[in-house]
């Protein structure tokens, strides 16, 4: 459930994505208001209004339901990685339920490689967005030395201001190259989808290789390549090599879990399931999340169940149920647990 005040919710829902700003009381050059945060979801607590003179803070306002906000995430992640936490800190603030935001951020994995926080009763939203007369999200404020030095839509007009605030003119060139690479990747993705639809499997593999070379951090082309080799070309050895590469290089717990679950559950892999690979991916995902992610544990339990270790599957699935804070998802996890218990002859439990 969202917790925006009714008035603010209606305004933002109508103009989401415009990121436009009307004349407001808060302007560039003013002192940055302190953040009023209910919960820090990702990253350590920080107060840009009291930040040092050398660190630039980018305070972005977003929401899980905002399409343009999702589009800005890879760019903000690239920005954070480029500058590092000492020189620049991206802080994404939303005014939604913390449990919802935690699930969302967990699902995004490495795509949200920056600080995420939940507003306290809309106070930060009011002190920044409303005070500045901003009429849409995503919208970001640039803070340095405790003062607002810029603002704008992260997708449109922020990068030159970031370059000026950080004193790094090369950032604009980095952004230009990144956009060109993304355009090339988009064209390759269209080629891959067309080749797949027409069952030109060798071309799918070739295009996937091109995409991997352009963006090694995106695991999706490697997933496509694995599926084609394992299922369509029946090349178990080639698929094993690709799968092991995914396991060794991918450090995104969500992506690893999704890959493992696809192998274990999707109909297209029926008769071609590499359960040991799925198990290894789920184990790595579990380690990356500290054994505290219910969805990842659900996948790991399924891997143990499919490998014949029902007792271990029950133990892990029980923990997944205990950790889950989403009612709908919890019912699914409980159903899986009941299936494992029934297979083992143990009595069903409800939690």
Q: What is the pLDDT of residues 287-316, one digit of tens each?
A: 998 999 999 999 999 999 999 999 999 999
pLDDT of amino acid 107: 80
Structural domain boundaries of the chain? 6-168, 175-235, 250-351
Select the more confidently predicted residue: 107 or 189: 189
- Does the structure show a pLDDT above 60 at 16? no
Tens of pLDDT, residues 25-56? 889 999 999 999 999 999 999 989 876 678 99
pLDDT of amino acid 51: 67
pLDDT of amino acid 10: 29
Span of 153-157, 165-169, 289-293, 311-315 with lowest mean pLDDT:
153-157
Span of 21-25, 51-55, 229-233, 241-245 with lowest mean pLDDT:
21-25
pLDDT of amino acid 24: 61
pLDDT of amino acid 17: 45
Span of 42-51, 73-82, 293-302, 319-328 with lowest mean pLDDT:
42-51
pLDDT of amino acid 178: 87
250-351 fold: 1.25.40
Select the more confidently predicted residue: 68 or 325: 68
pLDDT of amino acid 227: 97
Select the more confidently predicted residue: 135 or 241: 241
Q: Average pLDDT of the chain?
A: 89
Fold agreement (6-168, 250-351)? no
The structure tokens 């003013």 sit at 30
Query: Averaged over 149-175, what is the pLDDT?
Result: 92
Q: Which CATH number fits domain 6-168: 3.30.450.20, 3.40.50.261, 3.40.30.10, 3.40.50.720?
A: 3.40.30.10
Residues 233, 227: Cα–Cα separation, whole Å:
9
Residues 219, 197: Cα–Cα separation, whole Å:
20
Going by pLDDT thresholds of 50, 70 and 90, the confidence category of residue 110 is: confident
- Does the structure show a pLDDT above 80 at 3? no
pLDDT of amino acid 157: 80
Query: Averaged over 330-346, what is the pLDDT?
Result: 90
Going by pLDDT thresholds of 50, 70 and 90, the confidence category of residue 346 is: low
Query: Averaged over 61-74, what is the pLDDT?
Result: 92
Span of 5-9, 150-154, 245-249 with lowest mean pLDDT:
5-9
């Amino acid at each position: 459930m969202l917790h925006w005040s009714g008035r603010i919710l209606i305004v933002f829902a109508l103009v989401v994505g415009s990121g436009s700003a009307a004349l407001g009381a808060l302007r560039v050059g003013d002192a940055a208001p302190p953040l009023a945060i209910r919960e820090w979801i990702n990253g350590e607590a920080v107060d840009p209004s009291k930040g040092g003179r050398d660190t630039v803070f980018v305070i972005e306002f977003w929401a899980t339901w905002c399409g343009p906000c999702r589009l800005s995430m890879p760019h903000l992640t690239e920005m954070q990685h480029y500058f590092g936490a000492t020189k620049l800190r991206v802080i994404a603030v939303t005014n939604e339920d913390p449990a919802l935001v935690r699930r969302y951020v967990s699902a995004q994995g490495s795509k949200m490689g920056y600080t995420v926080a939940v507003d306290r009763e809309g106070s930060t939203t009011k002190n920044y967005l409303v005070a500045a007369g901003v009429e849409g999200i995503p919208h970001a404020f640039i803070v340095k030395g405790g003062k607002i030095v810029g603002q704008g839509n992260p997708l449109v007009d922020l990068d030159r201001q970031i370059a000026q605030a950080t004193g790094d003119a090369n950032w604009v060139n980095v952004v230009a190259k990144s956009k060109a690479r993304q355009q090339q990747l988009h064209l390759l993705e269209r080629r891959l989808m067309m080749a797949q639809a027409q069952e030109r499997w060798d071309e799918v593999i070739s295009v996937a290789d091109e995409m991997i070379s352009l963006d090694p951090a995106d695991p999706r082309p490697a997933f496509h390549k694995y599926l084609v080799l394992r299922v369509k070309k029946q090349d178990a050895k080639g698929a094993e090599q690709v799968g092991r590469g995914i396991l060794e290089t991918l450090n995104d717990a969500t992506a690893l879990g999704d890959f493992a679950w696809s192998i274990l559950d999707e109909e297209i892999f029926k008769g071609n399931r590499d359960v040991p690979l799925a198990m290894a991916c789920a184990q790595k995902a579990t380690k990356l999340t500290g054994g505290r992610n219910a969805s990842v544990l659900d996948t790991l339990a399924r891997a143990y169940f499919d490998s014949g270790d029902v007792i271990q599957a029950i133990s892990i699935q029980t923990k997944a149920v205990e950790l889950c804070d989403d009612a709908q998802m919890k019912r699914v996890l409980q159903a899986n647990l009941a299936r494992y218990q029934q297979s083992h002859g143990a009595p069903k439990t409800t939690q």
